[in-house]
Structure 1
Amino acid sequence: MSSHYSSLLFILLLAGEDELWEPSSSSRCVSIPLGMALCQNIGYNTMRMPNLLGHETPAEAVQQSASWLPLLARECHPDARIFLCSLFAPLCLDRFISPCRSLCESVRDSCAPIMSCYGYPWPEILRCDQYPADHLIGLTISAPQASCRDCELEEASSSNDLLETFCRSDFVVKLRLTRLKYSPVSLSQFSLAGKLDVLKQGPLLGGQLRSRIELWLERDATCVRNMTRQHPRGGTFLVTGTVQGERLVVNKAFAWQKQDKNLMAAARKWKQYRCRN
């Protein structure tokens, strides 16, 4: 169990009596289904049914939880997963543990704006005032602010501007994506096809870039969806971005098209180009 999830679960276990209540006689412990991608590798592997959202069976919980995968992939809040799983797959203890109100509010305030970008309000079933105030412990977490327009395809204004973008980026890669069949256990709708054409790999070692891009495809599904909106079956793209620990952050994406003269010129000139710094 990671130290992050351990500490969050410890906080939940320290909740006051107002946060706990007895399960009904029909309540039972079941294994978290492998198909519940939302709640895999969260530090525990059994949950109570019915859950805190009233789902009676694991199959119902799996089906309903899948709709939250794109938001989770958006990484709008570091604890969105633990909040949602406390409801979809509550810990199998003698008593139910409700998430505290401050955690709900923190996740809502960071993630609701992203949901609204796609026309979805914060659901009434997750109304934060229904959860108990956390008198003992308050979670004050600084959450990242994701953008609705991350990874939208751009057009290169000039080859020189694009070359300077390459200079400011940790990595620059030409890649080809193909669409996958839908899978309830995967966030990604696309996979890498063929070899990567690496223009710049920055601090990454030769074999690391492909595995990091595959991880990006899995974790940042909304970014990938924005990038492929006009190419629903996949296509070839040039992406640039930064390396943040184990994660790649794609900052700019371009459709690889031969008629884009600025893009073709920048890619051709890059090997001989000398960055200013």
Structure 2
Amino acid sequence: MMGTPKLLILLGYFLIWNSPGVLGSYRRSSSRCILVPRSMALCYDIGYTEMRLPNLLDHDTMAEAIQQSASWLPLLARECHPDARIFLCSLFAPICLDRLIYPCRSLCEAVRSSCAPVMACYGYPWPEILTCNEFPDDHELCISSITDESASSKRIVPQASCRDCELEEPTSAKEILEHFCNSDFAVKIKISRKNKTSTIADFDLDSKLEVLKHGPLLKTETYSKFKQWLDLDATCVHNIMRGTNTGVYVITGEVQNGKVVMVNKAYAWHKKNRNLQSAVRRWRHYKCRT
């Protein structure tokens, strides 16, 4: 997800298109070049160091751009499209050149077709401000896809599923144990909101993290990887917690590219879940079927 090719190398493909009709009016006279801050996680280290403000979504201040761009981090964590980050950063943090660079309509449509179903699973429609018809055609000068088509066709992208990250009701200890066997990791964690009025991404991870199965993760990096998951995939966390302010959960999933933790199942840990408690107790001595 974060291995985006350097944009400055690809400027030959990122052609310049200048039109006042796209996404409303752009105040060129008041625009200024600013360093992309580290706190702008969506676009920091994407391949260039300076961006324009106001950006192409009319965010006047860096604080506003950072806040609005952060809401897209959970979508990137779902890896719905390999060019989603490029598309979003061309709008939130446009590269600082003499003329404006817009994404091509085909790039918008490709990202929308892959990512809109994932957003719909969590109750978020594709924003009207990102209407693809507002962007230039490919035969005009604009930012096209940077993903190699042959490589992209071989890349496995998780399919949109409205059951992804749902809180599970354990049916039997054996079924849970078999699911542990088929997962890269299984961890017991405590998650809490920082405050009752916090945003969707405002969660804390308790330092006492019980690793049942670490899989390809190094034991020393397990906590940091799940802290990263908490920050990047907050939509999944929100879905698991179902509006509660704190909870203990057993979560399972896969590790993509040896780096990114993707949660696919979660079980609430409480006294009534005897099957879950039994599975956790038996796991250390359980022999998985080959």
Structure-2-length-normalised TM-score = 0.81
Counterpart of 1:168, as a letter, is N
1:5 and 2:5 aligned: yes
1:98 and 2:102 aligned: yes
Q: Which runs of 5+ in 2 are unaligned?
A: 21-26
Counterpart of 1:199, as a letter, is L
Closer/same/farther in 2, CA of residues 118 and 172 from structure 1, 3 Å limit: closer
Quick one: which of 248, 255, 262 aligns to 2:268? 255
Quick one: which of 163, 167, 172 aligns to 2:186? 172
- Whether the 8 Å contact between 1:38 and 1:65 is mirrored in structure 2 is yes
1:234 and 2:252 aligned: no
Quick one: which of 108, 122, 125 aligns to 2:112? 108
CA distance in 2 between counterparts of 1:144 and 1:200 reads 22
Counterpart of 1:243, as a letter, is V
CA distance in 1 between counterparts of 2:237 and 2:30 reads 42
1:85 and 2:89 aligned: yes
Quick one: which of 123, 148, 165 aligns to 1:151? 165
Structure that is richer in helix per residue: 1
Closer/same/farther in 2, CA of residues 82 and 262 from structure 1, 3 Å limit: same
Counterpart of 1:14, as a letter, is Y
Partner of 2:13: 14
Partner of 2:285: 272
Please give the root-mean-square deviation of Cα atoms over the aligned residues, in Å.
Answer: 3.0
Closer/same/farther in 2, CA of residues 179 and 258 from structure 1, 3 Å limit: same
CA distance in 2 between counterparts of 1:145 and 1:268 reads 33
Deviation at 1:182, TM superposition (A): 9.3
Counterpart of 1:123, as a letter, is P
Query: CA deviation digits over 1:158-217, x for unaligned, max 9?
Result: 111111112212222111122225999x98422221322222222333212222211211
Counterpart of 2:173, as a letter, is S
CA distance in 2 between counterparts of 1:204 and 1:55 reads 39
SS state of the match for residue 253, structure 1?
strand
CA distance in 2 between counterparts of 1:205 and 1:44 reads 32
Counterpart of 1:76, as a letter, is C
Query: CA deviation digits over 1:80-115, x for unaligned, max 9?
Result: 222112112211101111111221111111111223
SS state of the match for residue 42, structure 2?
helix
- Give the aligned length: 272
Quick one: which of 30, 42, 47 aligns to 1:43? 47
Deviation at 1:63, TM superposition (A): 4.3
- Whether the 8 Å contact between 1:74 and 1:223 is mirrored in structure 2 is no
Counterpart of 1:234, as a letter, is T
- Whether the 8 Å contact between 1:236 and 1:255 is mirrored in structure 2 is yes
- Whether the 8 Å contact between 2:51 and 2:95 is mirrored in structure 1 is yes
Partner of 1:126: 130
Closer/same/farther in 2, CA of residues 27 and 226 from structure 1, 3 Å limit: same
Partner of 1:160: 174
Deviation at 1:21, TM superposition (A): 5.9
Counterpart of 2:225, as a letter, is R
CA distance in 2 between counterparts of 1:78 and 1:265 reads 40
- Whether the 8 Å contact between 1:182 and 1:189 is mirrored in structure 2 is no
1:209 and 2:222 aligned: yes
SS state of the match for residue 103, structure 2?
coil
CA distance in 1 between counterparts of 2:238 and 2:118 reads 14
